[in-house]
Homo-oligomer: A and B are copies of this chain.
Amino acid sequence: MAGMDSAATPATPAAPSSGPGTVWAHVGQPFTPRDYDVVVLGAGRMGAAVALYLRQLAPHLSLLLLEEGGLPNEDGATLLAPGVWTAWGLPEDRMAQARWTRSQLETAFGDIRFQTRPLIELFMEGGTGRTPAADALAPYPDAQALVDTVALPFARVDAGAATYRPGALALAAAQQAVRAGADLMLNARARAALPADGSLHRAEPDGTGARVVIERLSVTNTHQIIVHDTHRLRAGVVVLALGADGPHAAEHDLGQHTTHARAYRQAPRLNVSSGDDTPVLRAAGLTLRPQNGGFTLVPAVHHRDPHGYVPTGGRLTGVPTGLRRETLEELVALMDALPPLGTEALGLGRSISDVPGAWLALPGGRADGLPLHQTLATGIHLLLGGPHADTLGLAVAHDLAAALAGLRGRPWDSPPPAPR
């Protein structure tokens, strides 16, 4: 098996990239459709990363990155992701990918606010590897002020955790991809379509795996989003990197049923002081992520939401709030242990639109599903981030790019064992 060196060398001789790609940000910029070797749908962190890695690993492949909104999409999961890298909860055989992702986050994307920051998980009960919470929190007055250590007397610490901004990562990856020759179109809703004769599963000699239909969007004076014009082009390879919408697109546009699901996660704000040294806290599945001088609360995802669910604000003692009921219940249950949750510092809102939230993909339908890519049909790939994208997303995007480039080795591979 090839080692690290081969990852930088395309399988076929490459025409070197000639300068940056073209960016179409709005419908005022004319677009003449052409065919591409690769079209990536979605410029969240997963789509932007696979685009960048493809430009690095296979610069001979022309590439178009399409995004329905801006960079990153304000409705997508990337912007709301906690941005907490931690090895906790990963299976051992994904640790090398996690470490590689961490080194990329640290070095490859400029200022995405990467910083090591301990993650302290708090418990009601003691156990292996748990220490007194008061000791663990002692160096961090901001964190201490949040926690009632009588209610949560035990802690374990991940000193190797780190935080960063997934939105900044997506933006940096997309910009680097463009500098490396990728074309990028924003405000473009796109879908993959099977070739007209439907013979998608037949390997096509000319390598044109799919058609892509692009609707360029604009906004009217009355703030309605309309389709300005529609284009069609052919792509040798299509990557669906549409986050929680990917499985729906696979089924609706390509007739490929998958086992993936989604959940709606809200990230309310807790306006309690935090700084660059404040650790990330976790209790009963709730993550408190220091951000912008306060905290962003990231509730646990327990399971998929059912098909047809429309997020709705719940009521707290009769008063409408912007938090979905299930999240509200979890915060209420923690109010004794984390007293600021019971104060005005918690941004409850009045309706669902008051609290930031996004649909999160659940790979394999599981709340602990790991990022993955999957071949839906010849030349059409689904790429999913999900709950562990903070820790593993870049490696999985790189893995897909390397596979599309025809490479066998991966940069996180161990050296092959010596022959015996």
Contacts and interface: CB of A to CB of B under 8 A. Distances in A.
Interface of A: 255, 257, 259, 302-312, 314, 317, 324-326, 329, 332
Contacts of A259: 329
B305 A303 contact: no
A228 B307 CA distance: 38
A contact face: mostly helix, strand, loop, or mixed: loop
Nearest to A261: B326
A259 B325 CA distance: 12
A259 B326 CA distance: 10
Contact of A306 (B257, B305, B317): B305
A329 B365 CA distance: 11
Given A255-B317, A317-B255, A325 B307 contact: yes
Contacts of A304: 326
Select the residue from A304, A305, A306, A308 with max chain B CB neighbours within 10 A. A306
A329 B261 CA distance: 11
A326 B306 contact: yes
Number of copies: 2
B314 A307 contact: yes
Q: 4 tightest A-B contacts by CB?
A: A307-B325, A308-B312, A303-B303, A309-B309
A308 B311 contact: yes
A135 to B, nearest CB: 32
B311 A310 contact: no
A261 to B, nearest CB: 8
A62 to B, nearest CB: 34
Contacts of A309: 305-306, 308-309
A259 to B, nearest CB: 8
Nearest to A367: B303
A139 B333 CA distance: 52
Contacts of A308: 309-312, 324-325
Contacts of A306: 305-306, 309, 311, 324-326
Select the residue from A311, A314, A326 with max chain B CB neighbours within 10 A. A326
Contacts of A332: 257
B307 A312 contact: yes
Contacts of A305: 306, 309
Contacts of A314: 307
Select the residue from A255, A308, A326 with max chain B CB neighbours within 10 A. A308
Nearest to A352: B308
Contacts of A317: 255
Nearest to A314: B307
A326 B312 contact: no
Nearest to A309: B309
Nearest to A333: B259
A325 B306 CA distance: 7
27 contacts: A255-B317, A257-B332, A259-B329, A302-B303, A303-B303, A304-B326, A305-B306, A305-B309, A306-B306, A306-B309, A306-B311, A306-B324, A306-B325, A306-B326, A307-B312, A307-B314, A307-B324, A307-B325, A307-B326, A308-B309, A308-B310, A308-B311, A308-B312, A308-B324, A308-B325, A309-B309, A310-B310
